[in-house]
Structure 1
Amino acid sequence: MSGQTSDVTVQAAPAEAPVLLERRGRAAVLTLNRPRAINALTHEMVGLLDRALRELADDASVEVVVLRGAGERGLCAGGDIVAIHRDATTGGTGSEDFWRDEYVLNALIARYPKPYVALMDGIVLGGGVGVSAHGSVRVVTERTRIGMPETGIGFVPDVGGTWLLSHAPGELGTYVALTAGHVDGADAIAIGLADHYVASGDLDRLVDLLAARPLDEALGEVTTEPPASRLLASRPWVDAGFAADDVRDVLAALRERPEPEAAEAADAVAAKSPTAVAVTLRALRGARAMGSLEEALAQEYRIVLRMLRGHDFPEGIRAQVIDKDRSPRWRPASADDVTADVVSAHFEPLEPSRELDLPHPDRTEQQ
């Protein structure tokens, strides 16, 4: 990259700062700069992004904001779940503050007053979806691998994931959420997580174009037709298999389908945390009926605070990341043993002072 690095990344040398800001012509380029961790988000990074975006919104010289990730592996591999595990097992509250600020950032991106171009190249997981898929212009490539893997660690798709996935065509979002599946660039466009397909080798050129030319002209120079979506082709059996509002009925419907992929999906769902799957399904159905992303984020915040103090979330992180034995001991271990009361408890209102109070989308947020 050329250009000047902004003082947004204070108290750190520009090359070492976790978020870099470069002004290039009419564009401001924000780079997530932790390539060895696939740019996984920290609380500091969330704060730097929030501050930068608010400053850029008021900068008349900036007409478009671009988000990209450093390195070749991906835009962002999610958040620091090791730190979350520490809070879950010690009673720490840092994760609560991180999620609150992260969700505020997600809502800011969704309502951003200038074009926000997210380059979703390579791996985009969890929190990486939150800083990209809510943007107004979402670009994927042949290397894109987007995932919301939360149910595999006893968690729920958050950062507005329940809002995004609940509004995918049919039950494709339900399928992705409950199986903790990944989608490629073509699938992402098909289910509404992305807008434009660009060859990864053309991304630097796209940034150059955005710095010099209007948005539509820049995109028109490099955008290509995406391949056919394999996920979209699966919609008939996915819609039939994931239509129910009870996980047990979903599993039964999938087992009755003749397609081998349906049986594989049932096995994938059954292997995830039964509690997390049941909570996720209810959260998706609730988000689908909501009127705004902000409502869904408030619901997610209630859920994740309960999961932080539950059993399956820290156990899932232990099994997948800490001990890496890949053998989580879910409690309860079966969908048949997850009661309605257990699921409902995750959705109960918090104390008023702890609720996520995001501005109504019809109100202009003070910058």
Structure 2
Amino acid sequence: MTGQADAYNTTLSGQVLFERRGPAGQLGVITLNRPRQLNSLSHAMIREITSQLAAWEKTPEVKQYLLIGAGERGLCAGGDILEIRADVLGTGGEDAAEFFANEYRLDAATGDLAKPYVAIMDGYTFGGGVGLSAHSKGRRVVTERSQIAMPETAIGFVPDVGGTYLLANMPGETGIHAGLTGARLDAGDAIATGFADHFVSSERLAELVARLESEAADALLAELSQPAPESPLLREREWIDEVYAAETPAEILSRLDARAVSRPAAAAAAKAIRASSPTAIAVTLEVIRSNRTAADLRSAIDLEYRAGMRLCVAHDFLEGVRAQVLDKDRNPQWQPATLDEVDRADVDAFLSPVEAKTVNWGIGAFAI
């Protein structure tokens, strides 16, 4: 702590902390501060991080940034889906649309920062946590404890926050596999597939954080990084590429079933898909495949937003959050209940540009 007046700020929400450390306060530290909720992102947090980063970008004394999570479990479990569900039920989706738009603008902006932005993806980093960390350029840190995932289909939603852009650019069909099943990527997977850049042992994180106060991020990361572990996911690519090249979700599931006897990972994937919203599975497949040709991250997010704003007011999202998070009975009643019942016309409607909103990116990286 520098002792300056703005060195340590507890924000209005108290859910995120901002601190300037080192000589002249040159390191701006963002700490997600909801450890009991695994640092899930509220709308207040998103607004406050956006405002603080915009201010620090204009502060010459601040040379680089660090994103960390409070507690021992992880960086961030994702967006606060209970808040989003309440918004949908209370306003019919207007507040949720603003929540997502503000979140997506912030996520995209982290990739455009003029100063180095180091994100430590230690422990659990899911959904919105990926959006806030994984678009940083060359400074995404994972450890042997990292577990990174986009598990949105399990709650009737689509991978978002630019996650489908990352999934679309994973090798072969591994991104389709990860997006449909919510598969967790370890450190080796994350680095091999484009979700992270540096592997640093958790034992050296305290050293990394301390030295960032006075040393340049890139040189320090190059010094402390170790060879990444082998990727378990890429060892499965032969069958993954064959299975997920199928045209439809139902055919993918059929191919998984055929592989399940000899491949435990295929059996687990089939189980995960069957437990997820059939509609969300079908929409997610189309969004990831479409975003393979997205011009850039923002274009990919626009498609996510179009689909997501329709999904978040649909039955399956409300039911999925109820079953998985609110009541925790783990028994969502999806409508329709199976992949065979999903109407292709309904999937197309979720993605249709007709009268669909896109994110208003505004003028400049932090325009709200």
Distance in 2 separating the partners of 1:342 and 1:8: 49
The alignment's C-alpha RMSD in Å is: 2.1
Distance in 2 separating the partners of 1:3 and 1:186: 39
**Secondary structure of 1:31 counterpart:** strand
Distance in 1 separating the partners of 2:329 and 2:9: 38
Equivalent position of 2:297 in the other structure: 293
In the TM superposition, 1:283-362 aligns within 5 A as 283-349=287-353, 351=355, 354-358=357-361
Match of 1:218 among 213, 217, 220: 220
In the TM superposition, 1:230-249 aligns within 5 A as 230-249=232-251
In the TM superposition, 1:170-249 aligns within 5 A as 170-249=172-251
In the TM superposition, 1:63-212 aligns within 5 A as 63-90=63-90, 91-136=92-137, 137-212=139-214
Distance in 2 separating the partners of 1:158 and 1:5: 37
- C-alpha change, 1:127 and 1:203, in structure 2 (3 Å) is same
Equivalent position of 2:42 in the other structure: 42
Following TM superposition, by how much is the alpha carbon of 1:62 offset from its aligned partner in structure 2, in angstroms? 2.0
The 8 Å contact of residues 147 and 180 in structure 1, kept in 2 or not, is answered as yes
Moved more, 170-179 or 250-259: 250-259
The 8 Å contact of residues 42 and 79 in structure 2, kept in 1 or not, is answered as yes
Distance in 2 separating the partners of 1:255 and 1:10: 51
What is the CA deviation profile of residues 266-299 of structure 1, one whole-angstrom value per residue up to 9, with x for unaligned ones?
A: 2221221100000000000111111111011111
Distance in 1 separating the partners of 2:354 and 2:27: 41
The 8 Å contact of residues 105 and 365 in structure 2, kept in 1 or not, is answered as no
Q: Which amino acid aligns with 2:208?
A: L
Following TM superposition, by how much is the alpha carbon of 1:179 offset from its aligned partner in structure 2, in angstroms? 0.6
- C-alpha change, 1:301 and 1:7, in structure 2 (3 Å) is farther
Distance in 1 separating the partners of 2:319 and 2:170: 30
Distance in 1 separating the partners of 2:366 and 2:120: 27
Q: Which amino acid aligns with 2:18?
A: L
Moved more, 256-265 or 1-10: 1-10
Distance in 1 separating the partners of 2:287 and 2:212: 37
**Secondary structure of 2:213 counterpart:** helix
The 8 Å contact of residues 245 and 282 in structure 1, kept in 2 or not, is answered as no
The 8 Å contact of residues 8 and 52 in structure 1, kept in 2 or not, is answered as no
What is the CA deviation profile of residues 224-250 of structure 1, one whole-angstrom value per residue up to 9, with x for unaligned ones?
A: 112211111111111111112311121
Taking structure 1 as the reference length, the TM-score comes to 0.92
Following TM superposition, by how much is the alpha carbon of 1:200 offset from its aligned partner in structure 2, in angstroms? 1.3
What is the CA deviation profile of residues 155-212 of structure 1, one whole-angstrom value per residue up to 9, with x for unaligned ones?
A: 1001011111111111111111101121111111111100001111211211222222
Following TM superposition, by how much is the alpha carbon of 1:109 offset from its aligned partner in structure 2, in angstroms? 0.6
The 8 Å contact of residues 16 and 30 in structure 2, kept in 1 or not, is answered as no
The 8 Å contact of residues 31 and 68 in structure 1, kept in 2 or not, is answered as yes
User: Any unmatched runs of 5+ in structure 1?
Assistant: none
User: Any unmatched runs of 5+ in structure 2?
Assistant: none
Distance in 1 separating the partners of 2:43 and 2:338: 35
Question: Percent identity at matched positions?
Answer: 45
- C-alpha change, 1:66 and 1:227, in structure 2 (3 Å) is same
The 8 Å contact of residues 126 and 148 in structure 1, kept in 2 or not, is answered as yes
Q: Which amino acid aligns with 2:253?
A: L
The 8 Å contact of residues 125 and 149 in structure 1, kept in 2 or not, is answered as yes
**Secondary structure of 2:120 counterpart:** strand
Q: Which amino acid aligns with 1:102?
A: E
Distance in 2 separating the partners of 1:355 and 1:239: 32
The 8 Å contact of residues 8 and 48 in structure 1, kept in 2 or not, is answered as no
Equivalent position of 1:28 in the other structure: 28
- C-alpha change, 1:134 and 1:86, in structure 2 (3 Å) is same
The 8 Å contact of residues 77 and 124 in structure 1, kept in 2 or not, is answered as yes
What is the CA deviation profile of residues 89-147 of structure 1, one whole-angstrom value per residue up to 9, with x for unaligned ones?
A: 34252211110100000110121122111000111111000100011210001111111
